[in-house]
Structures are given as C-alpha cells and as structure tokens.
Amino acid sequence: METLTAPVIDQSALIAQLQAQLAHLQQAQTQRPNILLLSDAYKYSHAKFYEPGTTRIYSYLESRGHRGGVFEATLVAGYQYLLKKYLSGPLFTQEELDYAADHLKGVFGRDDVFDKPRFQQWLDEYDAVAPVRIRAVPEGTVVGTRNVLMTIENVDDRYYWLPNFLETLLLQVWYPTTVATLSREVKKVVSHYFDLTSDSTTLDFQLNDFGFRGVSSVESAQIGGMAHLISWLGSDNTTAAEMIRRYYNTQEVYAKSIPATEHSIMTQGGEAGEFDVIRRVLRTYPTGPVSCVCDSFNILRAVRYIGTELKDEVLARQGTLVIRPDSGDIIKTLEAIFDILFECFGYELSSKGYKVLPPQVRIIQGDGVNYDSIKHMYEVLAARGIAAENLVLGMGGRLLQAGIDRDTFNFAFKASYTEVNGESRDVVKSPTELDAEGNPQKSTKQSKKGRLKLVKTADGYRTLTSADADFESAQDELVTVYEWGKMVRESTFEEIRDRAKL
C-alpha cells in the first residue's frame, strides 16, 4: 500500500501570501470607485458641445414637488456622505485616468469622445482636486418643494464642463432626502395619534428600520438607514449606524435594537414546541425589552398562552415583551390580538380616555407597513379606544426602497447661469408640451434661471433669483459646504437631528 505523507508547508511563505491577500481585500473594501467612470456616458461629449468661450457653468438642485401631492417639503439629507466619500481630495490617479480612457473608448467605439487631455490637465495642475464650489442648505433642514437646495459652479474658468459632469453623482442625494422625508412624515402621523390618545411622549422607538435585507445594496442600506435615523432611534440596520459614525462626526451609535426571535427559532420544535420557545425567550432575557414573533402556527393561540400561562411571568419582568404578528390582514389581526391582551392583562386609561396595556406588553407590526397603512392602523386603534403607545412599527422595503425613486419628489439638476466670453447669461429650460388631448401647454418642468438664493421668511423658505430686486441684500440660507476638493463646512449628526425635529 502506498504511504501518504503530508506535504511540507512553508509557513512563512503561507503567512506572507495570506497577508498579501488580506491587504488586497482591505484595499478593495475601502477604495472608492474610479470617479472618471461615475458619470452618465453622454456627459463625456459635453465639454466639446458648450459654446466656445464658455468660462462658467452654474447649476442647482431642487425638488419640483411630491408625485402624489401629499408632502409639501423635503428634509435635506445625505450630501455630506457623498461629498466626503466620492469627492474629497485627489479624485483619480494616472493609472485610473489611463484605464478610464481605454474603457470609454470601448463604450463609444471611438477615442474622440472622452477628452483625455482635459482630465490630464486636471491631474497635472491640481492633482485631480476638484475646482468647484458647492453651496447647500444644511442637512436636516426641512425646505418646501420647488426651492433651490444646492448649487455648484466651477472656480477655475477652464473647468466650466466639470459642474454638470458631476451631476450624476450629486443628484443621488435624492435617495437619502426622500427616505428622510418619508420617515419624518411617518413621525408626524405617529405624533398626531400620540397627542390624541396617549400620555407618553416617547416616540423615538415607534418606527424601526427593518429594511437592510430589502434594498439593492449595502450602500443603499447605509444611506437610507442613516436618513431614517435623523428622525428615529429604532433600527436593526447596524451598518447605517456605523456609516453615521464615519461620515457625520459622532461617536454615538444611533441605531438601537432589542433581542428578538425569528421563525427559524420559533419553529425548531414544531407546533407542539412553540410554547416552550416563548417561555425560553422570557427566561433568557428576564429584564429589558425582548421581541417574539408569534404567527408561526396560530397567532391567537400563542397570544392567549402568553396572557394566561405566562401572564405572571410577563408581569414580573422588568422590561417589555413585544409580540410580533407577521401575517394576515393587518387590522383584523391587530384587533383580535388587542382583544385577547386587554382581556388577559387588563388596561388603564390614559388621561385622554384610551386603553393602555401594562408596560410589560406591547405589539410590533412589521408586515405590510407603509405610510398609508400606518395612518390606517392608528386611525382604527383610536376609533376602538386604544392608545397609540400600545403599537410599535417595523418598516422594511417600503421605508428604504419599494415605491421610492428620483421622481417621488421629482428631483432635478439644471444649469441656470453661464458666462461666455465675459458675458453673463441667465439660462432656463421652459418647455411647451402637449397634454393628453394634444393641446400645447407650459410644462411643470420649467427650471429656474440666474444665480439663486434660498431665503427664510415668516411663511417658510423661498427661492430668489438674481433678477429679483432684493437679491443682493437678501441673506442666503445656502452655505458653502465644499470647495477645492474638501468639505469646508460639516454637520454633526446631532446637529442634523436637531434641525429636523418636528
């Protein structure tokens, strides 16, 4: 029989190889994408299309209004992350420039679209530091739609083509702004029903971010989860909290969560073993809040078991058991569960006359939760004399992705001012379009023209243009946040949360 011998391993060589692999992995995880490839393909041709003699392009960002007409303002969020991650310091290297030139030759099938000498000049003269100035309203500010939120212009005449080259990246601020706005609007709803039915004023944990698994990427989870935490503290989105610490100048961990089960735990012992699992949950964490999903087999049977055989154990806890239904008609299920819980545990009345369960018991609804269903849930509970504080919410894909896009608030990025051969020009997009009957009419996509200021009035914010008589003397709420490759004004996350308070 052949004798097998273990191969001789050069441990030092193996360690060196693993260290090299680790270094490569760490670089891949931290390296930002090649900025030269972070623009729409058609924009690479624009530098040659601008009128000869152009020395300045000034563009702006706005929300042209909510698609459903329900929300009248946006909570500005997320640009500090985008600017610090993608536009800070030198933006590309010679190697990245050479790669981009080769790649874009393949994109266009020709080598005269990507104007490499322009980018080479940028690299040679400024080490690829961006000669642009960006002004914006501070993050956390709530601004009525159809107002300027950000402006960008070049600060070197030769780089007039750069502001709108960066549009593709900058316009992605629509996402955190939309999530932050939606999240804050939910807080308005919850606050209304707390004021109507409850004595409690603690709202920070009423809406929890369950959306990490429901978005398209880790970065979406980070950005959207950050936006949610501007108005709330409850979140299972741990990566969002870590991103906040890196980009928003805080050491605080803002996403707060609790121990909770899932169906893999509840079903492990089969239907006959479910009650043992519920008991084990209570005894594993005898203090503090803990959540238990109870719809694996029969939600009403499980809730009644909690309210009878486990009642004394639940009431003896120094903490809250949060019961989670996860299927069925939301309203009918909640009504049935509350009927059982009030029967078993009793209730007190708030000073406003609404039923409140003992503090050791609450319900969290995490299935089918969106802005409209939240309003409906609290409306039905109030009609049944149930205080809002009895119900906590978890919101997943509908908070961070489903039904959300750039047109939710109709975000647009347009040029409004230019300089050509020393001449200042206000520029505007003002389409005439056809309606459904074929009749010409002015489009809602009309842009603003001239230089812009955002001013604060007794009635809220409004946008002034350089054509307005009081433009020069008006105080601008837009502040310079970025210039020559670096942030010149940042906000802490605490400052952003404070600005966004209801």
Q: What are phi and psi of 231, to 5 degrees?
A: -110, -15
β partners of residue 90 = none
Contact criterion met (CB below 8 Å) for 254 and 229:
yes
- Residue 406 assigned to a binding site: yes
407 and 425 Cβ atoms separated by less than 8 Å = no
Residues pairing with 455 in the sheet = 462
Q: Which residues make Cβ contacts (< 8 Å) with residue 362, sequence separation at least 6?
A: 320, 321, 322, 323, 389, 390, 391, 392
Query: How many other CB atoms are found less than 10 A from the CB of residue 476?
Result: 18
Binding residue per annotation — 263?
yes
What is the number of helices (H) and of strands (E) in the chain?
A: 18, 20
Task: Give how far the C-alpha of residue 233 lies from the chain's centroid of Cα atoms, to the nearest Å.
Answer: 14
397 assigned to a ligand binding site: yes
The H or E element spanning position 50 is: none
Flag whether 163 is marked binding: no
Tell whether 324 is in a known binding site.
yes
The answer to whether 325 is a known ligand-binding residue is yes
Q: Does 307 belong to an annotated binding site?
A: no
Instruction: Give the Cα-Cα-Cα angle 259, 382, 209 (nearest 5 degrees).
Output: 30
Burial of 7 (0-12, 13-18, 19+ CB in 10 A): exposed
**Helix (H) or strand (E) run with residue 70 in it:** none
67-73 long-range contacts (CB < 8 A, ≥24 apart) are: 67/407, 67/408, 67/409, 67/410, 70/185, 71/145, 71/181, 71/182, 71/185, 71/409, 72/144, 72/145, 73/142, 73/143, 73/144, 73/145, 73/181, 73/460
Q: Is 78 annotated as a binding residue?
A: no
Integer Cα distance of 140 and 185 in angstroms:
14
Annotated binding-site members for diphosphate = 213, 263, 324
Annotated binding-site members for beta-nicotinamide D-ribonucleotide = 236, 324-326, 366-367, 397, 406
Annotated binding-site members = 213, 236, 263, 324-326, 366-367, 397, 406
